[in-house]
Structure 1
Amino acid sequence: MTTEHVKPCVLLTSNQYKPNIGGIENSLYHLAQEYLLLGYEVVIVASDLNPENKELPEVEIEEGVTIYRYCFGRSRGLGRVLKQTYNAVKLYKKVLQRHSPVLTICRFHFNVLYLKALKYKNIVYLVPGVVANETKASYRANDNKLLKLKGHLSFFLHKTVQRMAFNSADKLFVFSENMQQQIRNINRSKAMNICKPGVSLSRFSLVTQTEKSQLKKELGLPEQSKAFLCIGRFVKAKGFDTAIEALKLLNDNNASLWLLGEGAEEAELRALSERLNVSDRVIFLGRQSCPENYYKAADFFIMSSTYEPLGQTILEALSSGLPIIGAKSSSNVVTATSEILEPSNNILVDEYSASAFARGMTSLMALPETQYAQLQYENRELAEQKFSWRVLAKELAGDF
């Protein structure tokens, strides 16, 4: 029996949520808080998948938001897909009966199909990335034929399901013109809306040079070093190997590179820094629950990704007032970095190479104190003016 609610309900859903740390999880949290302030009841549905395999509660209330989790399944291959599908559909049925959402915002392609099959209304697919391009960018060659075959089958499955999700959603939203074009190459008929994500302006904020030095000391990091920060999963698409090579070419012992994150490429990145004799200046920070402290402590930010639909980290860097270096879009660089940073006084290199990044890093380090402070202010102002969670929440709700 459906329970009556005074407030209309918004459902936010993906395959993962907290305690996972990432752009999608971050967007669900902030959108949830904005919809609460707009007077909605808010429900989040995700799997219980998490990096430490902790047992998570099936339902809990956190900061006014009801969070439901379905069992992701611990088996492998097709068995896991079938198990998580069964568990997800069962939970979505329960949520539909209990809460009757008037708007559903989904960030994972499989879940769009589950919602459509259960006749949810007003399904908005806020696309996190195009599977075909993201998977190619992150692809790692594997000599094991069986593993390679499994990888190709998984890629085909996800690519096919996402194509179906594009057609099934009532509305599609993307974060950049670049991403819109990627989907146009797959589906020319579906209408799309371009929106911008938000950033937590209170969490990611400006600090003075004195405060930076103090933060470095508190975090156990070199106080006098000029720190370039990279944040993300350690996968090929993030280009952290290029950042390490650029640090080597920079040839300045006063410069250091901070890599915040974890992932499959960590051993290779560590080996690269050893091979290039820069391991003493490449600092692996691991996975951090409070990345804002490292943005505040760092001096510059490097966006080295070759594939990034928009990139929450670049918005956090802007909000923190960090001068940024990134690469312009090209056949090898499929990102929204150019869209975000043009026009500005940050550095966009014309070619994607370690030498180009090294030249950009040299330019940033040579900024006089007054120009550095001005760029800090300009970046913060850009974040304040263009990237608001409240605006995004209203755009996604639209006429619904």
Structure 2
Amino acid sequence: MKITRISVWAVMLPLSKPYWLSGGRLKFEAIDSTFVRVDTDEGLSGWGEGCPWGHTYLPAHGPGLRAALELLAPALIGKDPRALDAINRLMDVTLPGHPYAKSPLDVACWDLLGKASSQPLWRFFGTDEPAPIAVNSSISTGTPDEMIADIRTASEKGYRTHSAKIGGSDFAADIERIEAISAALPKSEQVTFDVNRAWTPGVALQVLNAVKARDWIEQPCETLDQSAAVSAKVPQPIMLDECLHSFQDHLDAWRLGACQGVKVKPNRVGGLTKARQIRDFGLSVGWQMHIEDTGGSAFADTATLHLAASTPEANRLASWLCHAHLAEDPVPGQGGRNQNGLVHLNEQPGVGIDPDPALLGDPVAVYGGKQ
């Protein structure tokens, strides 16, 4: 099997309502997604999606992803998409870094491997039966009353785990948010307080040593070293996210004792191949992990859920579904969807979603010849 053509679509995904994080300093109203289809000489096609969460959240953005594909896609023409490690080595030689741009190509090759083998991806990732995956709400920064109201709305949809966005220089406001949400949360539900790197270490120490809550605190500071310094001096478990871009970053976090858990996001680390390596490392050192993507439609969510569904229960935390925040659905009726707080994957081969090109519009680029 050889790759003959790679087609690229740019799809703007508006959010159903404006979204604030990092203490309200970052606002999002739409996200720029890129779909790729990898065609082969055997008539099979694989799909991938890469969707940074805007352009202020991470060093990644939609136009940058598509610019990188101008270099990456031609290099893959004529290669066997099922040789995942070789594909990833070739991409790393062709363009060092830029992992977010490689993710949709890697996912499309995994999709092809699954389709060629008539197997769902969760089976390749190490399980004989996919676990039901708990879903994680994402609660935008607001007043305590606004955030509690959003949590209650999420609870009505089956969510039992919530990610409450806090952070900023006003540590008194964050103490108020944490205490109010902790007091209002039912005993059957859990919350992670996600700072999205908005605190300086000093503010983090003031807040976390003042509150009664012992819930997860996610990405308290900008850097790994800052977060590690905080982790050593607070009673709450620390979850890291935005400062982890590579396997080396995860190894450094473990060496520093900087966290007890991590977010594993394929689009951030370069695709499912590298996300699986990080997941397996996390298992070996005893981390708990939220396995979810940075953004995108139900396609990006579902591709990542295959990895989550194959992760042992003791290490698997809930997964966020970006598509639940979208005003439009480019893959209607397909993929993993919230069913009263859980997602159940099936036996469909590959990712299990085949986007309709007619719903994506005209391709913005096509590399290679005819299928």
Q: Identify the TM-score tier after normalising by the shorter chain.
A: under 0.3
The structure richer in helix per residue is: 1
Structure scoring higher RCO (CA < 8 A, sep ≥ 6) equals 2
Q: TM-score, normalised by structure 2?
A: 0.25
More strand by share: 2
The TM-score with structure 1 as length reference comes to 0.24
